[in-house]
Structure 1
Amino acid sequence: MPHWAKMRQTTLLVLLLIFIAAIVAFWVTQSSPTSNFTQSEQPPTALQKLHWHPSPTKVPPITFKGKDSEDISLNHFLGTPVLLNLWATWCAPCVAEMPALDQLQASLPEASLTIIALSLDREGLAEIEPFWKKTQLTSLKIYFDTTMGAGQTLSARGLPTTLLINREGQEVARIEGPAEWANPEVIRYFREITDRL
């Protein structure tokens, strides 16, 4: 076989291998649930502060209290996408967005997205229950951490801070500051992405 023919054959083989590698890389990327919606589904304007991580990160283990002061682990919610909102009654932006979070939870079944509004009030139920009644929150459940340890463990730089956690207990996105949770576009957005979390 002439030298030029061997060179041509080698070049074609290299190009074929590159093509195959590109197809495999594309397939792996598209088969990732997180990459599906981070690349093809941009958050609405009302969620413009939502920051998607390049890759999911394991959420450190945290425990907190429920309404009956029972200990609850975040791992209890594995298998369900979670929107974890860190807030406090002394935080004005937190208080302002709480009814919207309640409305978002009312619009989505907990099986598709569970919203955990985790209060960091030091007084616990003494502060939270009066606020719950005054604000008439009916879809959100009461959770609190009087030690404020969850905020430190989750590296919250301020309140409110909200983490989007997938079924495997990995943080896939975060938003620092308030958001328009009851905005129809936001509700539609979560309806579309939760089955891929």
Structure 2
Amino acid sequence: MTEKRPFRLPSAKLVGIAALAGIIAGAGAVYMRHIGSGSSVQEAQANVAGLCEGAGDRIAALTPFSKGQVAAMAPASEPRPLNLTFKGPEGQSLKMADFAGKTVLLNLWATWCVPCREEMPALNALEQEIGGQDFEVVAVNIDTGGDEKPKTFLDEYKIGALGYYRDSSMGVFNVLKKEGLAFGLPATLLFDGKGCLLASMNGPAAWDSPDAKALITAAKGP
């Protein structure tokens, strides 16, 4: 049997399209809170501001590194937590708060998404090289149905460094779509150790490139 080889990394054309999508998203995305009115809104805003204190400075520090292979990564207009839930490697329910203390590169992908498949080896290499207690690539598969297709893909293309995260309901994608953060796949978001959104992009990237590693280093901070 012929051994399967990893897909090629995103082409210059794909990265260019992703960069354009990121610019449009950064310019057009609007964040709206659907909380209520009066004191409840003020209280919620105060809670978010307290949780994400210092994230604005982190966004400013990493913005100059959104260039080259990761030029499509648009800084968040406002750092904030997002209500995202998905399944972990053992089938357990997870949310962003479960990754407290880690900078997280959250990536949504599916086996039917060609650009997703092309960038997976690079995401795997990024996790293999710099993943650890302070950083993790959390690649969430959103194929509907069972686990057979995504697990077969990961096995065949030797994607072994990434944890197995799943959301067959596509709930995570729908939340990000409503937030103006996901228009298709792949979609990638960068969170700080408190679960506050720092930046996001739509489209593939060469995540094992020096540009990507510099971006992650800036997001992690000193």
TM range (shorter): 0.7 to 0.9
How far apart are the structure 1 equivalents of 2:215 and 2:172?
Answer: 27
Structure 2 unpaired stretches of 5+: 1-53
Tell me which protein shows more strand as a share of its residues. 1
Going from structure 1 to structure 2, the CA distance change for 1:193 and 1:170 (only over 3 Å counts) comes to closer
How far apart are the structure 2 equivalents of 1:56 and 1:89?
Answer: 30
Contact 2:191 2:197 in 1 (8 A): yes
How far apart are the structure 2 equivalents of 1:36 and 1:192?
Answer: 7
Contact 2:108 2:139 in 1 (8 A): yes
TM-score, normalized by length of structure 1?
0.77
Contact 1:108 1:191 in 2 (8 A): no
AA at the equivalent of 1:126: E
How far apart are the structure 1 equivalents of 2:172 and 2:80?
Answer: 16
Which residue pairs with 2:213 in the alignment? 187
How far apart are the structure 1 equivalents of 2:174 and 2:106?
Answer: 14
The alpha-carbon deviation at position 95 of structure 1 amounts to: 0.6
The alpha-carbon deviation at position 58 of structure 1 amounts to: 2.0
Q: Secondary structure at the match of 1:86?
A: strand
Which residue pairs with 1:136 in the alignment? 158
Superposition pairs of residues 33-112 of structure 1, within 5 angstroms: 33-38=58-63, 41-60=64-83, 62-112=84-134
The alpha-carbon deviation at position 104 of structure 1 amounts to: 0.7
Which residue pairs with 2:197 in the alignment? 171
The alpha-carbon deviation at position 137 of structure 1 amounts to: 1.0
Aligned residue pairs total 166
Going from structure 1 to structure 2, the CA distance change for 1:53 and 1:73 (only over 3 Å counts) comes to closer
Going from structure 1 to structure 2, the CA distance change for 1:128 and 1:32 (only over 3 Å counts) comes to same
Larger radius of gyration: 1
Contact 1:81 1:164 in 2 (8 A): yes
Cα-Cα RMSD = 2.2
How far apart are the structure 1 equivalents of 2:195 and 2:218?
Answer: 19
Deviation track 1:62-86 (CA, whole Å, cap 9, x = no partner) reads 2211233222222201221111001
Q: Secondary structure at the match of 2:80?
A: strand
The alpha-carbon deviation at position 174 of structure 1 amounts to: 0.3
Contact 1:43 1:189 in 2 (8 A): yes
Deviation track 1:94-130 (CA, whole Å, cap 9, x = no partner) reads 0110000000111113222211100000124111111
How far apart are the structure 2 equivalents of 1:73 and 1:193?
Answer: 20
Aligned match for 1:116, one of 118, 125, 138? 138
Superposition pairs of residues 17-28 of structure 1, within 5 angstroms: none
Which residue pairs with 1:157 in the alignment? 183
TM-score, normalized by length of structure 2?
0.69
Contact 1:80 1:111 in 2 (8 A): yes
